[in-house]
Amino acid sequence: MLKPWKERFRLLSIMDGLVPRRLWLGGALLACLTVLMGMALLGLSGWFIAATALAGLLPAVAQMFDVFMPSAGIRLLAVGRTGARYAERLVTHDATLAALASLRVKLFSHWAGSSRTARALLLRPASLLQRLTADVDALDSLYLRLLVPAMAAMGAALMLGLAMGLMRWWLGVAAALWLLVAGWGIALWLGRSTIGPAVRRALRIERLRAQSVDLVAGQTELLMAGRLPVQMRAIARSDARAAQSDEAFFRAEARAAAAYGMAGTMTLAAALLALGWLVQEENIGAAVAAMGLLLALSAMEPFAALRRGAAEAGRTWLALRRTAACSQPAPRSALRKPRIGHAVQLSHAVLAAGGAPGWNSRLLGPFDLEIRAGERVALMGASGAGKSSLLQLIAGELPVLSGEVAALRCSWLTQRTELFQDTVRGNLQLARAGQAPASDDELWSALEAAGLAADIRALPRGLETALGEGGQ
């Protein structure tokens, strides 16, 4: 069992290996450069406006005041900030999209090469859709909303600390430490307080999506079985639970937004008092004080950009763990032969529903079961109780986590049927792929064995009846 911090580094290394590291670091450095240029532009503009106003009060000073160098610096910073922002967006989005595309290819390659994983996902189409859409897309927060804003925020803290340090060294150290402690501290608190609501929100939305897919895909079967109102009530309950998670999630995010607002106000108030004291002591001029105030005003903005990423940290971590679990090869179970006269022997067998233990998996067992050769046993239970998982364990399709499994070689016939948008004849002829087509007598014999011959004969076109999507 890996320690939490070791597991985090292992999972992050999966994302790090998908694209060149220069793209990751390049995008973060460009974001930091953009923030620094924006702060410098605001500070220099404030200094220039204040210095120009003060110079205009004294004609002698106005004649000696150089307006060209500050104006050129403002233009340079404005153009440079625009270019850095454009380059940062190109690099960061290129890195993110390349990582997500590589991850999708990796997942497809793994699923194509592992028949057990592919079959397990095919039995749960909603889970497969979640891996390919919501889980993969949620990983963009790891880089775009956590790593990049964190680097930019550090640059803002260093910028303010350097500017204040030129006035008083202790003032610069205090300003930088305050920004780092307050800005990162609020983000850390938000991430820790929302990890539970974010995970519950993601799981409940996934359940709501799965139930909605089941309602649309199986509405005919649900209606015939009289279970359509029950399914609709279940969807309504899932929607209500998802709304509860949304409320807790957004409430914590609103508290963090208020905390960042208070921290920014405190930073500006403290800078105003400190710079006013320095002006009163005649250590700095009013124009320099204006520049310091504007730098303090803009220093907290990069930290506020961390809020969204910190709030979604739990959802991102869940997606990273589940995606990493899907991209790792799953061991097959090596079945032992049972004692003579027995077909199946289970001794304290424990398995994970879905094939591998993870954040959203549940353990089944321990099972103790003996079935003699030739004996017939009915496995009964409610939907979702684990009947199919237990049969997959016996067939060697799922690994055993603990205990022992011994079974004779057997065939595993799933509950999933594959019917294509073709005629009845075309679907039946698939059993003769690569061979001579079956005759009509053989087709009717197969339908008789399946108990469908009378229904097909009652159709106007018989064997030439066209089936819809999924065999409907």
The structure's pTM equals: 0.62
CA atoms 120, 361, 309, 253: torsion sign: positive
Q: Which residue has the higher pLDDT, 119 or 364?
A: 364
Q: Do 89 and 34 meet the contact criterion of CB atoms below 8 Å apart? A: no
Q: Which residues are 352's β-sheet partners?
A: 363
Q: Is the pLDDT of residue 29 over 80?
A: yes
Mean pLDDT of 68-88: 87
pLDDT at 444: 92
Please report, for residues 121, 235, 379, 385, 413, the alpha-carbon distance to residue 382 in angstroms, rounded to integers and kept in the order given: 21, 19, 10, 6, 19
What percentage of the chain exceeds 70 in pLDDT?
A: 82
458 pLDDT band (50/70/90 cuts)?
A: very high
Residue with tokens 């233009």: 75
326 pLDDT band (50/70/90 cuts)?
A: low
Rounded to whole angstroms, the Cα distance separating 24 from 31 reads: 11
Rounded to whole angstroms, the Cα distance separating 451 from 321 reads: 46
Q: What is the CA radius of gyration of the chain?
A: 33
pLDDT digits (tens, 9 = 90+) for 156-195: 888 888 888 888 888 889 989 998 898 888 988 888 888 8
pLDDT at 285: 83
Q: Which of 20-34, 40-54, 277-291 has the lowest mean pLDDT?
A: 20-34
Give the angle 244-246-252 at the CA atoms, nearest 5°: 110
Residues 428-466: b if buried by 16+ CB within 10 A, e if exposed: bbeeeeeeeebeeeebbeebeeeeeeeebeeeeebbeee
Q: Which of 87-101, 126-140, 339-353 has the lowest mean pLDDT?
A: 126-140
Q: Is the pLDDT of residue 126 over 70?
A: no
pLDDT at 448: 92
Q: Is the pLDDT of residue 16 over 60?
A: no
The two tokens of residue 208 are 């709501």
pLDDT digits (tens, 9 = 90+) for 341-372: 888 888 888 887 654 444 445 678 788 889 89
Q: Do 212 and 231 meet the contact criterion of CB atoms below 8 Å apart? A: no
Q: Residue 193, CB half-sphere, CA atoms under 13 Å: how many? A: 16
pLDDT digits (tens, 9 = 90+) for 188-239: 888 888 888 888 888 888 888 888 888 887 888 888 888 888 889 989 998 9
Answer left, alpha or beta for residue 378, where phi above 0 means left and psi between -120 and 50 means alpha.
Answer: beta
Q: Which of 113-117, 343-347, 365-369, 461-465 has the lowest mean pLDDT?
A: 113-117
Q: Is the pLDDT of residue 56 over 50?
A: yes
pLDDT at 445: 92
The two tokens of residue 227 are 């279970």
